[in-house]
Chain A
Amino acid sequence: MPQAAERKALEKGLKKLNENMVTLAELAELSIRKAVDGLTRLDPEVAQEVFTLDQEVYGLQLEIERTCIDLLALHAPVARDLRTITTSLKITTDLDRIGRYGKDLSELTLQFRDRHIVEREDVARILEMADRTISMVDTAIEAFVHRNAESVRNIIEVDDAVDQLHDENFKDIVRRMMEGKLNIDTGARYLLVNRYFERIADHAVNIGLRVVYMVTGDWLPRVRAADRAKRRDEGSAKSTP
């Protein structure tokens, strides 16, 4: 029966796609972890490893795109297959970006290294941001690998906390620069590090939301914390007569 043969080819393609996606996700996560490790210990070798990883991530992403386009062209997939393939296509961008931020963090590592300037205080804060961010990335990737939508339904709330931490750090760094307690050159780079983690968390949110779509078909819109707060206030204003 021709239908059965077509499914075998599609199944094979989907399996390969999934394997590549898992590898890509693992590489991206590894990239961040190594970057954070390199940054906190100011280790140039680790930074170099991250650069190499970034190349791999990019190459794999291209291959995955290729695979997705082929599957769409040849098999006209529907339902779950369609959602899986289109989600994979979108998520690769987020994973690639995550990998890139790892590379960016490693570049900063090399710049800091030259100046031996990372303070204990700052390391603690960086580690806290890093932990939460890496945890979000890990959750999102696990959700993708295990096709578990429940674990990421509240990823937006977790992101809210990271955003808040980012805002606090930002204010703190600026204050210290203004008070002269922090070298401006260093402070600027801290701001970047802060920023990168916030962005990585955002990408993790994207991945999480897309995983929910892939598994259930529900579109959860990305609503920013400020807007959500506004809606909540509007809601309570409406319900009180």
Chain B
Amino acid sequence: MATKLRVESVSAWYGEKLAIQDITMDIEEHMVTAVIGPSGCGKSTLIRCLNRMHETIPKARVEGKVLLQGEDIYASSPVSVRRRIGMVFQKANPFPTMSIYDNVAAGLRLNGVRNRDELDKAVLASLKQAALWDEVKDSLDKSGASLSGGQQQRLCIARALAVKPEVLLMDEPCSALDPIATAKIEDLIFDLKKDFTLIVVTHNMQQAARVSETTAFMYLGKLIEVSNTRELFERPREALTESYITGRFG
């Protein structure tokens, strides 16, 4: 499998505070890469550096290179990067004043697409990809907030998919959801990888084991180990990784 995203010696700061240090890893395309680690290890910071969201925080700074199919994303405009690398957040946050349709279409509409046909097609395709179409096809003009938590998260996924990114970053997408909604999203992740490359940050190790092919373990801002998921969970190389995944930390 080809490398979709290459992270080269990336470090990031919040003001003076160093959050992640010298991270280097490859993300393979059409696969799911999970990032695990205890709270505060820097996993969210890392993926926010991959779609240039980290720099939207005042006084935040990034060093190093992130190459999307060979091009350094820090050499292009952030807006164009974010169209190729999308993001889904921990708490589902559909735009509050918009309907379901408008939410999904927002990324396209607000970037100049006006053709109603084109928007209709994109909304249909994205909602289908997000396994939400059947549940909302008759109420597309209802407010986004009228859906359940799991549905809202799938709506946010549809919204992110509508701009047809190549990579989808997911920051703890299931942590606010119940087990059934979580299972639906995990199934969705499984289906999405044939069309996209996914990176999922999760604090739930079993989830990482279930959905990913590659798992990266971070601790205190450093990348401790990254390998094939089965290897990492059956016989991790680093003692620190073993301590963490067997729950014997600290």
Contact = CB atoms under 8 A, between A and B. Distances in A.
Contact of B235 (A6, A7, A77, A79): A79
Contacts of A80: 235, 242, 246
B234 A82 contact: yes
Interface residues of A, number: 14
Contacts of A6: 247
A210 to B, nearest CB: 14
Contacts of A59: none
B206 interface: yes
B249 A78 contact: no
Contacts of A3: 247, 249
Given A83-B235, A217-B235, A78 B209 contact: yes
A107 interface: no
A82 B230 CA distance: 12
B248 interface: yes
Interface residues of B, number: 13
Contacts of B209: 78
A7 B234 contact: no
14 contacts: A6-B247, A7-B248, A76-B206, A77-B246, A78-B234, A78-B246, A79-B235, A79-B236, A79-B242, A79-B246, A80-B235, A81-B246, A82-B233, A83-B234
Contacts of A216: 235
Nearest to A217: B235
Contacts of A77: 246
Nearest to A10: B247
B242 to A, nearest CB: 5
A78 B205 CA distance: 10
Contacts of A82: 233-234
A184 B150 CA distance: 77
B13 to A, nearest CB: 30
Interface of B: 205-206, 209, 233-236, 242, 245-249
Given A7-B246, A79-B234, 11 more contacts: A6-B247, A77-B246, A78-B234, A78-B245, A78-B246, A79-B242, A80-B235, A82-B233, A83-B235, A216-B235, A217-B234
A216 B245 CA distance: 17
Nearest to B241: A79
A181 B209 CA distance: 65
Contacts of A76: 206
A78 B248 contact: no
Contacts of A217: 234-235
A80 B235 CA distance: 7
When A and B form their complex, which 7 residue pairs have the shortest distance between CB atoms, in order from nearest? Answer: A217-B235, A78-B233, A78-B245, A7-B247, A79-B242, A3-B247, A81-B246
Contacts of A83: 234-235
A113 B87 CA distance: 80
A217 B249 CA distance: 21
B233 A79 contact: yes
A79 B245 contact: yes
A36 B209 CA distance: 48
A112 B242 CA distance: 54
A7 B245 CA distance: 11
A216 B242 CA distance: 13
A217 to B, nearest CB: 3
Contacts of B246: 7, 77-81
Interface in A63-89: 76-83
Interface string A5-35: 0110010000000000000000000000000
Contacts of B206: 76
A34 B235 CA distance: 39
Interface in A83-102: 83
A76 B246 CA distance: 9
